[in-house]
Amino acid sequence: MNNKMVILIKRKRLLRFATLFFVLILLAGGCCLFFVQTAAVNAPKDEQKDFIKWVDFNLPYQAMEYAIKLDVNSQEGEIQLNFIEMLAYLSAKNGNNFKRFKTGQLDLVADQLKQGKTMAELADGLKYYDYYLDAYNAALSGLVGAYEIEVKEEASETGKSWERKYGLKAFSPIAKGYYYNDFDDFGVSRSYGFTRRHLGHDMMGSVGTPIIAVEGGTVEALGWNQYGGWRIGIRSHDTKRYYYYAHLRKDFPYNKSLKEGSVVLPGDVIGYLGRTGYSLNENVNNIRQPHLHIGLQLVFDESQKECNNEIWINIYPIIKLLYKNKSEVVKDPETKEYSRVYNIREISGD
């Protein structure tokens, strides 16, 4: 047997070995894939999480305002309306298109409910009603309800008395008596660090303007962030909403009583408007125009809180809704700290 024949035989053996090895790898990979898929299919139901992963919040403030008015006015009647249910019904019926919204559309829904129809009957056949109901409950359920608040009363020894109310219990993030200007800037481009969408709302004002908690909750974040500067993150009591207040004032960004874990009430002074941020170094003013950046993140599952698919909705229409409900504040001349004038008590279960 000459050398050429030996080399040819060795090549054929090597080719057969390589082919067999490749087939074994494919079989092993297929088995792994089969077991992974089988495990996923057979996973316990409590491990197969099913929750909303995207919300297109398209409600105009006029629709929210009027639905809340109908809700509030109905509380003394036999049929109590729910503004969130009515808005969910309208979104499911009009395909989330409010370009032709008229208050009469909500009047029609309210009239049908007052005449004895149930929302389940009205929404029967509307494919996305449940989706909008869950989405709007997550976004809006902290805005309206029963509460007690101090009101001015000359006859009282303190000049105040407590009054029970039902209605809008959330506050504008800018204190009463302080000017700001804004526009709908959600989704516009940002370039610092990397090109990205603006997932919040900017409210331009003066440095030192008292910043107010929109609703009650727990402080989850407080400190420096490269993009937001001095910022505060507050989680609503039901954990569905995370409010993000950023670019707070240099040297004196927060109410000094706050720390992570602190509980705040709607209308509390939490910090002061500034222009910090866009720096790796703490306490740096790199924002040209003083403003508050406020964002609203919806959290349907804790896995969404900090991930690549966070749900930030356009809070601008909510800010417009809250324009008339502002917290009056007073300054302590010694501490230079601001605090609310009229306290509030939230009522659970209503």
Own/partner pairs, 93-101, CB within 8 angstroms, 24+ separation:
93/126, 96/56, 96/58, 96/132, 97/58, 98/58, 98/59, 98/60, 98/63, 101/60, 101/62, 101/63
The listed CATH number (3.40.50.300, 2.70.70.10, 3.40.50.880, 3.40.50.720) that belongs to domain 172-346: 2.70.70.10
pLDDT of residue 143: 97
pLDDT of residue 74: 97
The predicted model gives 110-129 an average pLDDT of: 96
For 54-91, the pLDDT digits (tens) are: 999 999 999 999 999 999 999 999 999 999 999 999 99
Reported confidence tier of residue 182, pLDDT bands at 50, 70, 90: very high
280 pLDDT higher than 80: yes
Rounded distance, CA 9 to CA 15, Å?
A: 10
The ranges assigned to domains in the chain are 61-140, 172-346
pLDDT averaged over every residue in the chain: 87
pLDDT of residue 3: 46
21 pLDDT higher than 80: no
